Structure 1
């Protein structure tokens, strides 16, 4: 078994299907602070996008009725996701998210395990949790 180090590529890549992928990419970049790594388009449709947040990548694509889409969703023809992102400045991000009009689901608070967290819904209803808790796979709790 190998251990991941800072230069090794991640092994887990969250994926999302979106009704309006362009709008989701814009929100993630402008509000949360993701950067665009690559976007593959066919006309107005985003087939595959990769957004980076530090060394982590999120993959996005347009909702459509293919085999994968049938496997992952049945909430209005799509799935909803819940993601946690470790951030350095949850207070600043909370202010930007709130200013964007996103619905705050869990107020900014300090946890009993030392993190500062909040949760919100993105423009498509997915739940995002943000906090300072950042465990490493090769460290014991």
Structure 2
């Protein structure tokens, strides 16, 4: 069976939109530990495309004001009652330390840090614009002894 996956670092990259994308980029780096890979913004502060990395993972984001065809398909959480239809899941090496850092930066904790029945620890939170995130030490790429 042929594979459609490209031979690259990560083949799935979540994309998000923010009303104040430049502020969101700074917050995501400070609170969650992302690093700027590339940021394309105009003189008015509209982010047309940005890439933030976390280990070998990446998210892409842009400003809501960027009226691209793609952006027209995305609703902000506050436009749909705070709901989300997807959530970036990020594997971290020290979940307790990450939780403390995110909470100190103002992340709104949705599910407290806890040990999971399937292994590892994890928590979920919302960023300042309401996007839902999950962070945990459970790594689905590593074989587990649980069935």
Per the normalisation by structure 2, the TM-score is: 0.81
> Please, which moves more after superposition, 60-69 or 100-109?
60-69
What stretches of structure 1 move > 3 A for 4+ residues in a row?
1-4
> Please, which moves more after superposition, 55-64 or 66-75?
66-75
Q: Separation in 1 of the partners of 2:108 and 2:27? A: 13
Structure 1 gaps, min length 5: none
Give the aligned partner of residue 74 of structure 2. Answer: 72
Give the aligned partner of residue 41 of structure 2. Answer: 41
State which of 127, 134, 137 in structure 1 corresponds to 2:132: 127
Contact 2:109–2:125 (CA<8 Å) still a contact in 1?
Answer: yes
Structure 2 gaps, min length 5: none
How many aligned positions are there?
Answer: 137
Q: Separation in 1 of the partners of 2:74 and 2:46? A: 20
Give the aligned partner of residue 84 of structure 1. Answer: 89
Question: What secondary structure is seen at the aligned counterpart in 2 of 1:93?
Answer: helix
Q: How far did residue 11 of structure 1 move?
A: 1.1
In structure 2, do the counterparts of structure 1 residues 101 and 135 end up closer, same or farther at CA, with 3 Å as the change threshold? same
Question: What secondary structure is seen at the aligned counterpart in 1 of 2:8?
Answer: coil
